[in-house]
Every structure is written in C-alpha cells, then in structure tokens.
Amino acid sequence: MRNGRTLVQLAQELERQLSTKKDLVLHPSLMRHETSNQGDGSLVIDHPSGGSFTVTDLARRQLAARLNIPYPYYDRMRKEQPRLLDNNVNTWLQCGEGHTMVRTLDGQARAVLSDRYRRLDNYDLANAVIPILQTLPNMRFESVELTETRMYLKVVVPPLAYTMAPGDVVQAGVVITNSEVGHGTLSVQPLLYRVVCSNGLIVPERALRKTHIGRALGMEDNNVQVYQEETLRADDRAFFLKVRDVVSDVVAETTFVEAARKMQRTMGIKLTGDPVKSVEVLANRYDLNEGERSGVLRHLISGGQLSGYGLVNAVTHFSQEVESYDRATEFEEIGGKLVELSAKEWEGLAAAA
C-alpha cells in the first residue's frame, strides 16, 4: 500500500486549510477570466469577498465544461491564444444563467461547480469518523493522505484475519475517501490488506457512496454569497452519523470473510495463455499506460503465480511504486474489480494468446 502522511500531518494540514479556504456562490456575470503577461490564468470575482484567484487544472476543466467549451480547444487557446481564451470565457460568463459555486484555497480557484454542489468537507469528515475508526479493535491507520483532489483514510483491523494459504494472511480494513472539489463521491469501502507484501485491495461491494448534490444555493439577485466553515459543518452532521453505522458493517466479520473468499477463489484461475497478452488485455480494459503495463507484468512474473490470484496481487503490489497517491489507489480499486469478475470475464484474461 502506498505510504502517505502521518495522522498528525493530516490533522495539521486540515487545520491550516480551514483558515484559508472559502466558498463563493455567485452569478457567472460577476466573474471574469484574465491572463497575465506570464501566461497564468486567473478568475477575478468582482466583490469585496472575492478577489483574483489562479485557476487549477481541475477548475479549468470544470469551467470549460460549465461554459460548453470543448476542453481541447480551451487548452489550445490557453497555450497559443490566451487573449482569445479570455474573450471566449468572459463572453459566455456574461451570458450565463443560474449561479455557480467557486471553491477557493490558498489564493487558487480549485473548483468551479454547480450551486447544487453539496459540501461534505474533509475537516468535518475527519473529525466525525476518526473517533469512530479508533473504536475498532487494535486498529491502525495504515495510510492516510490529502491530495489536490481527495482525502484518504485507510485503516486495518488485524484481529479480523483470514488465511488464504499457509503463510499468506489478509486482514480486514476500511477505506474512506472524499473529494471537496467535485472529483468523486464520499465513499466508505471494505479493504483487504495482504500482510506478506503490504498490498491493499479495495472491495467495490457493500460500499456507501454519497454524491455531492443538494439543494440549489443561488439567489434571486446577483449578489455573492459566502459560506463560512461553521455553516458548512452544520449541514453535514446528520450524514456523518450514518457513516458511523456503515463503518461498523464494512468491518463486520461476515462482510470480511465473504470478500476474502472471493479473493481466494482466484487462486483456482490459471493463466493458461501468454501472461504478456493477459496483462495487455488487463491494460486495455482498465486504461493502463505503457509503464504501468510493464510494472504489472514484472510483478506477475516475479511473483511466480500465473493465476488470477497472482494477477490481482501484481496489480495491487505495483500500486506501491506509483508516484501519484490518487493513481495508486486506483490500482487498489482495480484489484477489487478483478476479484469481482465473473468466470466468463476471467476467460478473456486467463486464456489470452
């Protein structure tokens, strides 16, 4: 499993962000896009509570989508004709309808979202669920991280263990993820932790997912509405109570054993074809690039298990080498998807030639 921050480091960063982030809900006509002489794009919000905010890559994509500007064209204008980009964006902002939520942090516009976006913030989530997680027997925070797009809490519960084969034990766990910037749902999912190699596998079943959609926050006039942290936290307390119940279910013995047995069954799936071709089929199915494909193949061969189980573990083991924590977690999710494949779906991987 990919290493992240310590729990103390996570808490410190969440506290720091709490004092600098701000949400604004406004009519698009109160925004304009400006490109500096250095080529940096900024969103300028014409209001005392606004200001000038540089635009992150994700926010650029969201802004383009909201204005119905194809992103390849948006990006080409940004790189080759920045004044044309300003004219395009500002023209469509003036023609905009409804209201937009702009989420800011450290002087950046980090997200451009609908005013129906439901804020489920990382600070509140951590405060609500970490005490719940700490009640699990002998639990440990195996990996926690805060990236530009998501927060991750990955917890292992060693007393809940299952022997896959002599010397090969998996332990139960839970992974909680959240995005404050519209890059995914809040989710609570079972985690299988393979002790011998520290692999993590995220189980897609029995997951709680909460979409960030709520009531519209726009107003009848064109004023800017600023949401402070106290207001945001009050909105979410009821939902975080539900998370507590789901965490208990996710690490229940019956849930864990069911998932472990599904993983164990992949031991009986032999890779009868060319393992190189099997990894190619896997790469095409799950959009792996060339370097990722080579890495998975290397772990499959070095692991010495030409089986479905070997392929699952090659995928999850490679995640430890991936530089991006977000992408590493996606490999843990791919491992979980492989465990859920039907016999027919496995045929296409196992017999590839």
pLDDT tens string 325-345: 999 999 999 999 999 999 889
Question: Considering the domain boundaries, does residue 223 fall inside one?
Answer: no
Q: Cα dist. 4→56, 62, 268 in Å?
A: 22, 27, 34
Structure-model confidence comparison of residues 29 and 204, the more confident one: 29
Q: Quote the CA–CA distance of 18 and 122 in Å, as a whole number.
A: 10
pLDDT above 50: residue 216: no
Question: Considering the domain boundaries, does residue 264 fall inside one?
Answer: no
Question: Considering the domain boundaries, does residue 304 fall inside one?
Answer: yes
Q: Mean pLDDT across the stretch 24-30?
A: 92
pLDDT above 60: residue 293: yes
Structure-model confidence comparison of residues 189 and 246, the more confident one: 189
Res. 223 pLDDT band, cuts 50 70 90:
low
Q: Mean pLDDT across the stretch 181-204?
A: 91
pLDDT above 60: residue 213: no
Based on the domain organization, do 287 and 198 belong to the same domain? no
Are residues 194 and 287 in contact, defined by beta-carbon separation less than 8 angstroms? no
Res. 210 pLDDT band, cuts 50 70 90:
low
Are residues 183 and 152 in contact, defined by beta-carbon separation less than 8 angstroms? no
Based on the domain organization, do 107 and 165 belong to the same domain? no
User: Which helix or strand (DSSP H or E) is residue 163 part of?
Assistant: strand 151-165
Task: Quick: pLDDT tens for 254-283.
Answer: 889 999 999 999 999 999 989 999 999 999
**What pLDDT sits at residue 55?**
94
Based on the domain organization, do 182 and 89 belong to the same domain? no
pLDDT above 70: residue 309: yes
Place of tokens 């600070």: 123
Contact partners, residue 252, CB within 8 Å, separation at least 6: none
Structure-model confidence comparison of residues 237 and 189, the more confident one: 189
**What pLDDT sits at residue 287?**
96
Structure-model confidence comparison of residues 149 and 232, the more confident one: 149
Q: What percent of the chain has pLDDT over 70?
A: 90
Question: Considering the domain boundaries, does residue 13 fall inside one?
Answer: no
Based on the domain organization, do 236 and 328 belong to the same domain? no
Based on the domain organization, do 48 and 91 belong to the same domain? yes
pLDDT above 70: residue 230: no
**What pLDDT sits at residue 233?**
57
Question: Considering the domain boundaries, does residue 8 fall inside one?
Answer: no
Over the range 227-242, which residues count as b (16 or more CB within 10 Å of their CB) and which as e? bebeebbeebeebbee
**What pLDDT sits at residue 269?**
94
Question: Considering the domain boundaries, does residue 11 fall inside one?
Answer: no
Q: Within 13 A of 1's CA, how many CA atoms are on the CB side?
A: 27
Query: Is 264 exposed, middle or buried, given 0-12, 13-18 or 19+ CB atoms closer than 10 A?
Result: middle
Based on the domain organization, do 63 and 43 belong to the same domain? yes
Based on the domain organization, do 135 and 107 belong to the same domain? no
Question: Considering the domain boundaries, does residue 310 fall inside one?
Answer: yes
Tokens coding 318: 């490679």
Res. 190 pLDDT band, cuts 50 70 90:
very high
Are residues 277 and 351 in contact, defined by beta-carbon separation less than 8 angstroms? no
Res. 236 pLDDT band, cuts 50 70 90:
low
Are residues 35 and 49 in contact, defined by beta-carbon separation less than 8 angstroms? no
Q: What percent of the chain has pLDDT over 90?
A: 70
CA dihedral (314, 1, 56, 233) positive or negative: positive
**What pLDDT sits at residue 352?**
82
Are residues 133 and 247 in contact, defined by beta-carbon separation less than 8 angstroms? yes
Contact partners, residue 158, CB within 8 Å, separation at least 6: 138, 140, 171
Based on the domain organization, do 291 and 274 belong to the same domain? yes
Task: Quick: pLDDT tens for 69-82.
Answer: 999 999 999 999 99
Based on the domain organization, do 242 and 159 belong to the same domain? yes
Tokens coding 344: 């027919």
Are residues 252 and 48 in contact, defined by beta-carbon separation less than 8 angstroms? no
**What pLDDT sits at residue 322?**
96
Are residues 188 and 252 in contact, defined by beta-carbon separation less than 8 angstroms? no
**What pLDDT sits at residue 225?**
52
Tokens coding 40: 């940096």
Query: Which residue in 172, 171, 178 sits closest to 130, CA to CA?
Result: 178
Based on the domain organization, do 39 and 140 belong to the same domain? no
Based on the domain organization, do 250 and 275 belong to the same domain? no
Let me know how many helices (H) and strands (E) the chain has, helices first: 12, 13
Contact partners, residue 318, CB within 8 Å, separation at least 6: 292, 295, 296, 298, 299, 331
Based on the domain organization, do 251 and 274 belong to the same domain? no
Angle (CA) 94-38-26 rounded to 5° is 25
Q: Mean pLDDT across the stretch 19-33?
A: 92
Domain region containing 172? 122-213+228-257
Longest Cα–Cα distance of the chain, Å, equals 68
7-11, 95-99, 202-206, 236-240: least confident range? 236-240
What's the predicted TM-score (pTM) here? 0.88
Amino acid at 235: D
Sheet (strand 31-35) strand order:
31-35, 41-45, 51-55, 108-114, 100-105, 22-26, 225-227
Question: Considering the domain boundaries, does residue 263 fall inside one?
Answer: no
Structural domains counted in the chain: 3
pLDDT above 60: residue 319: yes
Average pLDDT, the chain: 89
